[in-house]
Structure 1
Amino acid sequence: MSSETLTIGVLPLGRPTFDVPFAEEMLSGMWRDLEASGHTLVGAPTLLMDAAAAEAAMADIKVQMPDRILILQVTFTDAVMTCRIADSFEQPLAIWAVPEPRLGGRLRLNAFCGLNLASHALSLRGRLFSWRYAAPGEGPLDTLFGATPMVHPMQPAESDADPAAGTALLDQLKSKSIARIGEHPDGFDTCAYKPDRLQALTGLTVRGFDLSDLFDRAHAAPSKAADELRQAADQMVSGLDQVDQPELDRSLRLKLALDGIKAEGGFDAFAIRCWPETFTEYGGAVCGPVAMMGEARTPCACEADVYGAATQLLLQAASGAPVFLADLVDIDVSDNSAVVWHCGQAPLSMADPDAVKEATIHTNRKMPLLFEFPLKPGPVTFVRLSQAQGVQSLILARGEMLKRDKAFTGTSGVVRFERPAHEVLAGVINSGLEHHMALAYGDHVAALESFAVAAGLPVIHL
């Protein structure tokens, strides 16, 4: 316990689309730890699951004039409320996020991704904060309440790579284009971009479409083409008959719509606002179609992440192989491993050959089509064209995908990074890195370092 007794304003953030009973269990454990710290707590051990509840809690805390503000990242949330809290309080800020067990089921909390989004958004605002990623009962809380926030900019690595190979990669990008369908969700600063800035860096061009255009094209797709795609999908994964068939048809039609947009515009990649409207307005998931597009070397980025799509094109050019844009959803220091995951959209060639590739539904929205399998073992390269802290850079990491059972539903893999897990954990949060990273099998770091030199980008190694 700190020698100084502080008044801590506590704001527990959550979202009702996750496992609320489990989140409340975690919150109870976090609150017990906070009470045991000896500090005075202002607030209540109640999940704040909408803006009105959070604003009311903030108002109650403000009149108590706390010494510190602590956000409890109990489940995933976007960064809207985190930024509102940061803007409303001048006091030192801290965030505590909790891990969850890798049991092969749904991501019940996905709190690490919330911490990741928060760190990026706060880095863009120049707001330093302390943080902790640990379960209740795991060690002291001193790091949350130090006088000096812990997050500092990471230092770029020096690179003496030959720019020749990188120039060739840069030239490849200059001839390519991305279709952006819809806008990125609120609170996903990780997916924001400025077209002129991206074009100046890579030469890539971007054209925008409304989501309604995608949906209209999907509804209008010929039934024969949808039936043929259904037959093809039946050869890719098992269990298509076990999901809702009208929803499956709508999902597969999104693939036909993307194919049509690609053919008409000559696009090389997509950045798609994949939720909530594909579920709430259209009635089918785009995840399975995205996996098919990626396998066919037309990578797609979720949440209209244009820099994510650009990163995929870069890594695909460097590797000559399909790529997967994944969330980093857990880092276990004790196991020296991490989990990369996305709902169900990894290219099928990345599946562990000993596992069954299955059709499934979205864990939160309960609609098909998603693919489910663990990623195959082997060396992998991670990369991100990043805008963390407002500075364009290239984030790189090597790793080894381990032969493990699936950690969570959807497509996921357990990876051991080249550097120790605790260093990767600190690097991701301290750098304010975006929550999407592209991965491909093989070691492509040298080619990507060469690209960074040719493009004039600083390199940060995780």
Structure 2
Amino acid sequence: MATQHLLPYIAVAAVSSPLEIGANRAPQTANDLAQVLEMAGCEVLCLGSIGTPDQAIAAGRKAAEAHVDAVVFTPVSWFEDYLVLQFLEECAVSFLFWPLPGMETGALCGTQQITCYLKQLGHPYQAVFGDTQDVKCLQKSQHFLRAAVLKNRLRRARIGFAGHRVPGMTETAPNEFLLKKAIGPIIMPLDLPILLEKAQQKPDAEALQRWQEVVSKAGSCQVSKEDGVYAMKVYTALYDMIREYGLDAVTVGCYPHLMGKVCMSIALLADQGIPFACEGDVNGAVAQLILTLLTGTPTHNTDWLDPLEDDTVIFSHCGSGSFSLAEKQADIRLTPVRLMDQGVCAIFPARPGPVTLLNLMPAPDRYQLAVIEGEAVHAEMVFPGNPVRVRFSQPLSDVMNWVFDEGLGHHWMIGYSHVGEEIRRWADIVGKGVQLLTL
């Protein structure tokens, strides 16, 4: 099972027109920028310099054959726009332009010229301006390049869906055609009876050993050995299906009969980079996948609960969070699930830190993605689940009015760290199929 993380694979090329001042530094500049981006965490294919249509075509074919996520062009002088356009016909990925300063080179003019053209074509691009050591340029470039690889990862993603979405939660129903067209993932139906049958067939001894390992990592346990062993059997059966179908995320229609039966699977799979949404929410699973890819860490699947007097708000679900999301390991309690009083879930207050919250749902003609950043602060066990207490920079009344006015759904996926900028860049790249909603 592949680890979920974003490592942009990019091509770098310097563009110029031979007559122009600065054109002679094209090969060295391409190498220099390639090294900068490698040090910043990218895998780089250096294409050298492009100064003729034939060179543009050859470089485009090389980049396409390598299946790069994006191309970084560094203009070192003015250049003909058709160089990039010829490249585009061979390799139609996202483009980043990094023109170098130079009063007589015309590099900035050439960049404005091509971005003008690409804007009319509707082709995704980003531009920065500064030397190759400019920290702000590098940061902006990283946001765009991570967004580009996010787009490619989502277009290849498979979301496993077992059971059905919860009756009365219409917002969680996916539009499969629109999801594929706008964002990229396909849905792989999983036969729930077969999943449960496979779980029953798993060896007791293996499940017991895994359960004992889980108990050893918790602060306390108030569930029976039988319930714990069954939860581990379900986890193992799900893990087998994930490997069989090559799934990137999953969701199971757990409410109400499977409550407590799959919660530990959610926690354990999250630690392996496989997000798992509750209640058959395919849209939520996709949102969790976005956050997992961008943050590299497990995420919370939550409902928006009540505000507190200090203008913070509590988010939580029944208790399916990765143990790594707990503020203190000693606070992790293994208990039967609320409402149904069955199975096993892990309840604990969530750890503090910067967070990004997403709500993804289909509209009639597009997908809409609401994004807001905040700060998770210390939370008490005010709800038997994994309460996350969030403070927003905006007044909470404004945030709540925004939620109501935009008609946002009730499932909020939470990832640690602020990744709103990458998500905004990703929405720009994917285009009109996704409406980004921000406060």
TM-score, normalising length: structure 1: 0.61
* Superposed CA offset, 1:154-181 (max 9, x none): xxxxx99875432221001122211100
Partners in 1 of 2:244 and 2:206 — Cα distance?
Answer: 17
Structure 2 letter corresponding to 1:357: I
Q: Which amino acid aligns with 1:326?
A: T
Q: CA deviation at 1:246?
A: 2.0
Show the counterpart of 2:404. Answer: 429
Q: Distance in 2 between matches of 1:399 and 1:431?
A: 19
**Corresponding residue for 1:253?**
233
> Which residue in the other structure is 1:73 paired with?
none
- What is residue 287 of structure 2 aligned with on the other side? 311
- Within-5 A mapping of 1:165-176: 165-176=146-157
Match of 1:363 in 2: 338
Work out the CA distance in 2 between the residues paired with 1:194 and 1:422.
32
Compute the displacement of 1:367 (Å): 1.1
Q: CA deviation at 1:189?
A: 0.6
Instruction: Return the offset for 1:385.
Output: 2.5
Any residues of structure 2 matched to 1:388-403 within 5 Å, and which?
391-403=366-378
CA offset at residue 458 of structure 1?
Answer: 2.6
Alpha-carbon distance in 2 for matches of 1:226, 1:378 = 34
Counterparts of 2:365 and 2:305, CA distance in 1: 23
Structure 1 spans left out of the alignment, 5+ residues: 1-158
Shift of 1:429: 2.0
For the residues of structure 2 that align with 1:218 and 1:311, how far apart are their CA atoms? 27
Q: Alpha-carbon deviations, 1:302-337, whole Å to 9, x = none?
A: 1111111111111111112221221111224x4211
Structure with the larger RCO, 1 or 2 (CA within 8 Å, 6+ apart) = 1
Aligned 8 A contact 1:341 1:410 in 2: yes
Measure the CA separation in 2 of the matches of 1:163 and 1:453.
Answer: 10
Supply the distance in 2 between the matched residues of 1:418 and 1:392 (Cα, whole angstroms).
Answer: 26
- Alignment check: 8 A CA contact 1:164 1:454 kept: no
Say whether the 8 Å CA contact 1:211–1:273 is kept in structure 2: no
Secondary structure in structure 1 of the residue aligned to 2:387: strand
Q: Determine whether 1:458 maps to 2:438.
A: no
What letter corresponds to residue 303 of structure 1 in structure 2?
E
Give the corresponding residue for 1:141.
none
**What is the distance in 2 between the residues matched to 1:317 and 1:270?**
15
Aligned with residue 270 of structure 1, among 235, 243, 250: 250
Q: Deviations over 1:176-216 (max 9, x none)?
A: 21110011021111211121111112221211123212211
- Is the Cα contact below 8 Å between 1:355 and 1:374 reproduced in 2? no
Q: CA RMSD in A?
A: 2.0
Equivalent position of 1:244 in the other structure: 224
Structure 1 residue 355: deviation in Å?
Answer: 5.0
Aligned to 2:101: none
Q: Identity, % of aligned pairs?
A: 27
- Separation in 1, partners of 2:271, 2:342: 22
| Partner of residue 380, structure 1 | 355
How far, CA to CA, are the matches of 1:205 and 1:388 in structure 2? 18
Q: Is the 8 Å Cα contact of residues 351 and 374 (structure 1) preserved in structure 2?
A: yes
Shift of the alpha carbon at 1:253?
1.4
- Give the stretch that moved more between structures: 248-257 or 180-189: 248-257
* Distance change >3 Å, CA 184–CA 382, structure 1 → 2: same
After superposition, give the CA deviation of every residue in 1:2-46 in whole Å (9 maximum; x if it has no partner).
Answer: xxxxxxxxxxxxxxxxxxxxxxxxxxxxxxxxxxxxxxxxxxxxx
Question: What is the rounded CA distance, in whole Å, between the counterparts of 2:188 and 2:329 in structure 1?
Answer: 40
Paired residue for 1:224, among 201, 205, 216?
205
Counterpart contact for 1:362–1:370, Cα < 8 Å: yes
Q: 1:391 to 1:331 in 2, by over 3 A?
A: farther
One-letter amino acid of the counterpart of residue 258, structure 2 = T
Matched, 1:195 2:171: no
* Match 1:207 to one of 165, 181, 188: 188
Return the offset for 1:432: 1.6
Q: Secondary structure at the match of 1:374?
A: coil
- Alpha-carbon contact 1:397-1:418 (below 8 Å) kept: no
Give secondary structure in 2 for the equivalent of 1:180: strand
Q: What SS does the corresponding residue of 1:278 show, helix, strand or coil?
A: coil
Q: What's the secondary structure of 1:411's corresponding residue?
A: coil
Match of 1:290 among 251, 257, 266: 266
Q: For residue 411 of structure 1, what is the aligned residue in structure 2?
A: 386
How many correspondences in the alignment?
298
Other structure's SS at 2:331 match: coil
* Alignment deviations for residues 104-148 of structure 1 (CA, whole Å, 9 cap, x no partner): xxxxxxxxxxxxxxxxxxxxxxxxxxxxxxxxxxxxxxxxxxxxx
1:23 is matched with none
The CA deviation at 1:263 is: 1.6
Change (3 A) 1:426 1:179: same
Structure 2 spans left out of the alignment, 5+ residues: 1-125, 128-139
User: Quick one: distance in 2 between partners of 1:458 and 1:388?
Assistant: 9
AA at the equivalent of 2:205: K
| 1:222-246 Cα deviation digits (max 9, x unpaired) | 2222112112212221333x31332
Structure 2 SS opposite 1:310: helix
Q: Residue 416 of structure 1 aligns to a residue in which SS?
A: strand
